[in-house]
Amino acid sequence: MENTAKTPGYRNLIESAMRDERELVRVDVEAGVATVTMDDPASYNALSATLCYQLRERIEETLRSPDVEVLILTGCDPAFSAGGDMRLMEFADTILKEGREGAIGMWRWIRYQFGGVARALTGSDKLCIAALNGPAAGVGLAFALACDIIVASERARLVTAFAKIGLLPEVGTNWLFSRRIGHHRFMELYLSGEELSASQAHDFGLINKVVPHERLVEEARAFAARAQALPEGLLSMAKPLMRRAADMSFEEALAMEEYAEPICFTTAAHKEAIAAFMKAHGIGKGPV
């Protein structure tokens, strides 16, 4: 049987990433908040095979940890992420021409690595916050959009340059952009490859808040604190419902809420909140 170990393909990319001893993704956990930082500033945190592999591994591991309640995704200055690494794209051509897998090799990378990061962020019941410290382009932008909250430094830029390098919007950007700004405006951005400033992105409804650069971490952690202040388990129930509601019919969304809400009535946090409200407003017990 022919030895395919040296045949260019998905396996080579994974093995190369695993051998690389550089630490391109840092994870810092403090008081239940994990900050995951892409740390290859010389490349503007471009998603090389190594960085992307480490990012998926670290994010999945972090979100599984019972000690983590909120995840903040950011980049090492001066960029959030420049998107797909050009050397990786060049290697993709080698895979297509010389690899036995053909297009399947690149499909596996896009699905399991790029897609793996996006699925981890959207699929977790924990709050995921993107802290955009600088430009976010291509797949890097897709990762930001996959988060539940986006806080942006005034230095941030959203770059939709897929068409300029002969590619389609990918890694969920079609779904994520269309639901935020609609088909027509997204098509305009795709055709132009326009960079949006942080303030423009905020006006479009793509990000939640724009802050001075030096306050970015502080503001991201403020959102995390709000999540942590909620009754235990509440957000982990709310996020899946909120994520899926846009793709349900009204009746389906209503039914999901009807099944979920009674669970909240059984919690001590709900009972304590009702008692405190009634006391504060002078509402006594009586007929309902």
Mean pLDDT of all residues in 137-160: 96
Provide DSSP, 144-189.
Answer: HHHSSEEEEETT-EEE--TGGGT----TTHHHHHHHHH-HHHHHHH
**Does position 165 have pLDDT exceeding 90, yes or no?**
no
Give the model confidence (pLDDT) of 37-73 as tens digits: 999 999 999 999 999 999 999 999 999 999 999 999 9
- The predicted structure's pLDDT at residue 97: 67
CA angle 7, 13, 19 (to 5 degrees): 110
Q: Per CATH, is 10-229 categorized as 3.90.226.10?
A: yes
For residues 36 and 71, the answer to whether their CB atoms sit within 8 Å is: yes
Return left, alpha or beta for 205; rule: phi > 0 is left, psi -120 to 50 is alpha, else beta: left
Q: From 90, 106, 55, 113, select the one nearest 165 (Cα to Cα).
A: 90
Residue 144 has pLDDT above 70, yes or no: yes
Mean pLDDT calculated for residue range 109-123: 95
Domain residue spans in the chain? Answer: 10-229, 234-280
Spatial distance between the Cα atoms of 42 and 78, rounded to a whole number of angstroms? 9
Contact (CB, 8 A) for 159 and 83: yes
Structurally, what CATH architecture does the domain formed by 234-280 represent? Orthogonal Bundle (1.10)
Report whether 94 contacts 55 (CB < 8 A): no
Verdict on whether the full-model pTM lies above 0.85: yes
